[in-house]
Amino acid sequence: MNGLRRKEYLAALGLKSWVLRAGAPAAQPRALLESALLESPLLDPARPASEAPAPLAALRESAFDWDQLRARVAACTRCGLNATRTQTVFGVGNLEAQWLIVGEAPGAEEDRQGEPFVGRAGQLLNSMLRAIGLAREEVYIANVLKCRPPGNRDPSENESAECLPYLERQIALLKPRILLAVGRIAAQNLLRTDVSLGRLRQQAHTFGISRVPLVATYHPAYLLRTPADKRKAWEDLKFAREVCARVQR
Ligand code: SF4
């Protein structure tokens, strides 16, 4: 747990700080703190978010509905990327979608418009989806990170870890039939691996405890730079369509 998250937990308990007592085992205070939190009535998911104290609201996205989650993301300062973003890019699409497309992070145009996969990469994604019979309006599109890393650099490990719970809640709310991870960063973060995209594609993976089927393919921005790999992406999309067709909902 990083310092900021620890402060939020402590604030939720009405504590300013905790100090390790001499002689106490190092893991004990943290274990006690977390167990106290888990047992706290303040974490009752049935309790409306509006009744929760402000610091605690930051910890409860696992119980949020779409509107609460969107508001939480819009106000988020967890990893520090709020300092350089124009706006958050929450995600867009059909809330009944069977397909969830997940990219890495907003780029400059997405940061300006507040929508994922716009511009040339977005147009190519739309064409890729159309090729397998899907309109953009039929799917849901989101990123691992909701804020643009400056200069379009890769997200740091900490930024991904801090932001991923928002995507996890989006997945829990959407209950898609399939996740299509576009690009190495998205695939590696969702699968918690550093295996190359070349080895991850053309396999049916599953995501998290919900075990939603996941297929990985190339990012459209990469395909714009490397059009020779569009054929491989087409193979991946056909494979994903087959995987999706096998899923019982
Ligand atoms: S990238 Fe995610 S965790 Fe970081 S400030 Fe934006 S919404 Fe919060």
145 lines ligand 1 (CB under 6 A): yes
169 lines ligand 1 (CB under 6 A): no
- How large is the average pLDDT for residues 134-147? 97
Q: Are 182 and 220 in contact (CB under 8 A)?
A: yes
- Whose Cα sits closest to atom 4 in ligand 1? 79
Burial class (CB in 10 A: 0-12, 13-18, 19+), 65: exposed
Which of 4, 5, 88 has most ligand 1 atoms within 8 Å of CB, for mutation? 88
- Whose Cα sits closest to atom 6 in ligand 1? 147
Q: Are 72 and 57 in contact (CB under 8 A)?
A: yes
Which pLDDT value is given to residue 60? Answer: 67
pTM for the complete prediction?
0.77
pLDDT tens per residue across span 192-201: 999 999 999 9
163 lines ligand 1 (CB under 6 A): yes
88 lines ligand 1 (CB under 6 A): yes
CA dihedral 238, 240, 241, 242 (to 10 degrees): 90
- Residue 247 banded pLDDT, cuts 50, 70, 90: confident
Distance 75 CA to ligand 1 centre (A): 9
Which pLDDT value is given to residue 24? Answer: 35
Q: Does the structure show a pLDDT above 60 at 102?
A: yes
Q: Does the structure show a pLDDT above 70 at 79?
A: yes
- Whose Cα sits closest to atom 5 in ligand 1? 77
